Amino acid sequence: NNPYKLKGIDAIVKTDKSEIANYAIIDFTDNIKVYLAYEKPKSIVGVDIGVRHLITVVAIRNGKVWKTRFWGKELITDEMIKILGEPQGVTEIRNIRAKVKKTITEVVKFLEELNPKVVALEDLRIFENKVGNTLRNIEIELEQQLYNRGIKYKLLDPYNTSKVCSNCGFKKGEVLGPLFVCPACGYKADRDFNAALNLALKCYYTC
């Protein structure tokens, strides 16, 4: 598609960009200058919050995986051990927000660069155990910071996000330690990546 004909002005355009310009601005004041205007493409981003990787981000653009990033491998595991080891655990759960604040700020900065149409999160409000409560508190911090930056987000039903194969859609994938394995198509991936991608895909079709 290069060179291509720009609709409306019947001009032939040759450019090193892969996208097609939305419109052109033509300046006749000194010779002829043509400025091409492109729309910044939007992405759909899935964010998984977990005990292995604190945060896993998978962004899709045009239905395909575009960017992936993980945060905080040891950070959350150590905190989780502390929380589970404490008989009440309530203070630790409350402190978790303060502890992850800096990391979440980094995550949100990265999310902003992805120019997301929507950020898809798991609805963690339904889990009533210690791990669930802790993850929900991390999510609240993330929601707060997304809101402050004006980034649109949505809480999706977490049902099956970790079990569905993001490659073929098979609903009974196996999670073996850090790995997701699909018995139907043989696909293997980091389990958090698979979950975050499922959130992004769910949002891509339903948000």
Q: Does 170 contact Zn ion by CB under 5 A?
A: yes
What angle is formed at CA 58 by the lines to CA 50 and CA 150, rounded to 5 degrees? 90
Dist CA 79 CA 90 (whole Å)? 13
Q: Does 165 contact Zn ion by CB under 5 A?
A: yes
- DSSP labels, 136-176: HHHHHHHHHHHHHTT--EEEE--TTTTTS-TTT--S--EEE
Q: Does 188 contact Zn ion by CB under 5 A?
A: no
Q: Which of residues 127 and 170 has its CB atom nearest to Zn ion in the complex?
A: 170
Per-residue contact flags (x/-) with Zn ion for residues 117 to 136, judged by CB under 5 A = --------------------
Q: Which of residues 135 and 182 has its CB atom nearest to Zn ion in the complex?
A: 182
Dist CA 158 CA 204 (whole Å)? 15
Q: Does 189 contact Zn ion by CB under 5 A?
A: no
Number of H helices, E strands in the chain: 4, 12
Q: Which of 187, 188, 190, 207 binds Zn ion (CB under 5 A)?
A: 187
- Closest distance to Zn ion from the beta carbon of 165 (Å): 3
Q: Does 175 contact Zn ion by CB under 5 A?
A: no
Q: Does 182 contact Zn ion by CB under 5 A?
A: yes
Q: Does 179 contact Zn ion by CB under 5 A?
A: no
DSSP 97: H
Dist CA 183 CA 195 (whole Å)? 16
- Closest distance to Zn ion from the beta carbon of 157 (Å): 21
Q: Which of 9, 90, 168, 175 binds Zn ion (CB under 5 A)?
A: 168
Q: How many CB atoms lie within 10 A of CB 182?
A: 21
Q: Does 105 contact Zn ion by CB under 5 A?
A: no
Q: Which of 167, 188, 190, 207 binds Zn ion (CB under 5 A)?
A: 167
Q: How many CB atoms lie within 10 A of CB 149?
A: 12
Site size toward Zn ion, by CB under 5 A:
8
Dist CA 51 CA 137 (whole Å)? 13
Candidate segments 43-51, 114-122, 133-141, 161-169, binder of Zn ion by CB under 5 A: 161-169
Binding stretches for Zn ion (CB under 5 A) = 165, 167-168, 170, 182, 184-185, 187
